Amino acid sequence: MAVDLVVRFLLGGTIVTLFALIGELVKPKTFAGLFGSAPSVAIVSLTLAFEKHGRAHVAEETRTMLLGALGLLAYCAICVVIARKEKAIWIGAVMAWALWACVAFGAFAAARAIGAPL
Amino acid sequence: MKPEVETSGVKEVAWWEHAIRFVFGGAISVGAGLVGHHWGPAVGGLFIAFPSILPASLTLVRRHDGKRKAIEDAQGARFGAIGQAAFASSALAMTCAGWPPALVLALATLAWCATSSALWAIVYGRK
């Protein structure tokens, strides 16, 4: 377990940094922003999931990843509003995680309630 | 408007700012793994679309380039989020079809890139 976590940390940090670096190498900023929502954690998690748990596990993760992406879209939309404020942007961006959670888990609960195969 | 490569932005970023992103990204990857371990792949899958890059990116862009650029960065991130849905749906389809894992992840990443870029081009490409 400890080795798994170390591998996750190193891989995750590397891939996040790589995508962020690509975002710094391109312009305009609206295009660079795409890389702020790159599937870095997904690439790491699914790579390890394929290795450890197999296809059925990966299929289940990617199904609910769709719902998490809905939360991410809401998060990005609120970040546009937050970026317009004068206050420290990182406070708003961190507080907006609560919005991500509400949308992602709300969609998850709704999908379960209607009997979606999750 | 067309995307271009510009290296000057990289030189402005200090090593410790890269380190913060690395630690942040690594910690969120670990967190997503722990959530999946405790609550199963259905809940774990939600967290692999957790906003991992954007908080640090927006802070750094605001610091180096100002408020206007941070707004633009966030506006672009919305297309990346929609692209993550393309990543997830294509990865799901290919996984269920039995394709090799490396191919699944490579093509799903391409799907993310193509979808995000196409959306960007539709909205900003003509400006």
**Which ranges of chain A have pLDDT less than 70?**
118
Rounded CA-CA distance A20/B10 in Å is: 10
pLDDT score for B46: 95
pLDDT score for B10: 65
Among residues B38, B50, B24, B40, the alpha carbon closest in space to that of A1 is found at B38
| CA distance to partner chain B, nearest, from residue A89 (Å) | 6
Tell me, what's the ipTM? 0.91
Rounded CA-CA distance A84/B124 in Å is: 19
Reported as a pLDDT band with limits 50, 70 and 90, residue B3 is: confident
Rounded CA-CA distance B2/B48 in Å is: 30
- Whether the CB-CB separation of A58 and B93 falls below 8 Å is answered with no
| CA distance to partner chain A, nearest, from residue B102 (Å) | 8
- Provide the angle, in degrees to the nearest 10, between the axes of the packed helices A40-52 and A55-84: 170
Question: Which chain B residues have a beta carbon less than 8 Å from that of A79?
Answer: 54, 58, 74, 77
| CA distance to partner chain A, nearest, from residue B75 (Å) | 6
pLDDT score for B55: 84
Rounded CA-CA distance A35/B80 in Å is: 7
| Both structure tokens of A72 | 């991410």
Side chain identity, residue B56: A
Is the model more confident about B91 or about A24?
A: B91
Q: Three-class SS string for B23-42?
A: HHHHHHHHHHHHHHHHHCHH
Side chain identity, residue A8: R
pLDDT score for A79: 92
- Whether the CB-CB separation of B29 and A9 falls below 8 Å is answered with yes
Q: Chain A neighbours among B 43-82 (CB < 8 Å)?
A: 43-59, 61-62, 65, 67, 69-82
Lowest mean pLDDT of A98-102, B3-7, B25-29, B79-83, name the range. B3-7
| Both structure tokens of B10 | 């990289």
pLDDT score for B54: 85
Side chain identity, residue B109: T
What is the tens place of the pLDDT at every residue in B17-73? Answer: 889 889 989 999 999 999 999 999 999 999 999 998 888 888 888 888 888 999 999
**Cβ atoms < 10 Å from Cβ of B125:** 14
Q: Is the pLDDT of residue B9 over 70?
A: no
pLDDT score for B11: 67
